[in-house]
Amino acid sequence: MKSILLTTAAMAMTAGMAMAQDVVRMGTEGAYPPYNFINDAGEVDGFERELGDELCARAELTCEWVTNEWDSIIPNLVSGNYDTIIAGMSITDERDEVIDFTQNYTLPDPSAYVAMSADVDLEGGVLAAQANTIQAAFIAETGATLVEFATPEETIAAVKNGEADAVLADKAFLTPIADEDADLMMLDKEELIGGGIGLGLRESDTELKEKFDAAITSMKEDGSLNALIAKWEIGDGF
């Protein structure tokens, strides 16, 4: 009897561990619409919420959504506070030295400038960008003066209060802001930076990467990924 009880307990423990492994904590910023944001119900919403839930379903995983500030989103992935980054993060060589990426689930989205006038000096002026982004790195390599902020909202505020001449960010993020604010305008110039957006994972999580890669591939093949991209007006589809 004791042997049976021990065997039953071991099986229950094994099942519990398997269930725990099926839960994947999806780390996102929750402050970068339309990619990700917090809705009126206080829940993570947007393109990446819908995409992440579908990827988890196809990979037979259970999503748990976690929000984290952008400037510490990679360190907190590495330290184990969540299992993926799904936060509009472009795939770059620099980031790939620290974490791993799935294949891209968007093509590179043009980066655009928003300013309060059309005659901004983009080559020698003061340009705002969110810290630790491909846009900040791009500006730093030009002759312009870079001012960095922790959140995307602060970059917009910097332009409106005169701290910066323009802000450089993903066009999909800036377009609705420029459309809704009469004081702001989208400039004609665009920049194509980065290699598209993918899920970030720890280097050691190769099995999880394979599952998400397979799920992304299936969404590309059946057209559902392009449908989501069109729905959220992210950019060009595959």
Interval 126-169: pLDDT, tens: 999 999 999 999 999 998 999 999 999 999 999 999 999 999 99
Q: Are 91 and 196 in contact (CB under 8 A)?
A: yes
Identical fold for domains 23-107+195-232 and 111-191, yes or no, is yes
Residue 236: count of CB within 10 angstroms of its CB: 12
The two structure tokens encoding residue 1: 């009897």
Total number of residues shown for the chain: 238
CATH number of 23-107+195-232: 3.40.190.10
Residue 16 has a pLDDT of 40
Distances (CA, A) of 44 to 34, 39, 63, 225: 11, 6, 12, 19
Q: Are 175 and 232 in contact (CB under 8 A)?
A: no
To the nearest 10 degrees (0 to 180), the angle between helices 206-222 and 224-231 is 80
Average model confidence (pLDDT) across the chain: 91
Residue 195 has a pLDDT of 86
22 Cβ partners below 8 Å, 6+ apart?
60, 61, 62
In terms of pLDDT, which residue wins out, 224 or 110?
224
Superfamily of domain 111-191: Periplasmic binding protein-like II (3.40.190.10)
| pTM: predicted TM-score of the whole model, two decimal places | 0.80
Domain boundaries, the chain: 23-107+195-232, 111-191
Residue 194 has a pLDDT of 83
**What are 147's strand-pairing partners?**
128
